[in-house]
Structure formats: C-alpha cells, structure tokens
Amino acid sequence: MELLSRIAELHTTELGAIRIKRNLSLDCEDVVAWCKEQLCSPEALIERKGKNWYATVNGCIITINAYSYTIITAHKLLKEY
C-alpha cells in the first residue's frame, strides 16, 4: 500500500495536532507517532478517495492528504443504534 510505504513522510501542523487531540480526546505528546501506530495496525482499513487517504481503525477515522502526507484531521466514529 502506497500510504504505508511512505509512512515516514507523515506529519501534521501545530493546529492539526491540537485538532486531532481534541477530536479524539488523546492525552499524548506525539500525535503523529500515535497516528502512525494506528495506521500500521492490522485492523486498519485504509482507502483513497480523491485527494485524501482515509484510515478507519479503533473507532476513529484519520484523514491524510495523499500528496503532501499531512494528517489533516481525525474523528471518532459515530455509534450506530
């Protein structure tokens, strides 16, 4: 998979890190390392739609720009009732 072969290029902005921490209620220093760990998980479902990669894993969706490898945002999956 292209995304995983270039995982070392993943990065985010300062505001992106703040947004991801807030959206996922994370309490970690290195958001990029956390995202890389999630992406490398065997349970990760990764697909490309247009200009972005979307990774669904452990109850969240991580959005990554396919050209710059910038982690844009991440959200918790909504529970279906």
pLDDT in tens, 50-63: 999 999 999 999 99
- Cβ atoms of 20 and 74 within 8 Å: the answer is yes
Q: Where are the domains of the chain?
A: 2-76
Distance CA 21, CA 10 (A): 16
Q: Is the model's pTM score more than 0.75?
A: yes
Q: How many whole angstroms separate alpha carbon 35 and alpha carbon 53?
A: 13
Q: Are 66 and 13 in contact (CB under 8 A)?
A: no
**pLDDT confidence bin for 80, thresholds 50/70/90:** low
Asked if 9 and 2 touch (Cβ cutoff 8 Å), the reply is no
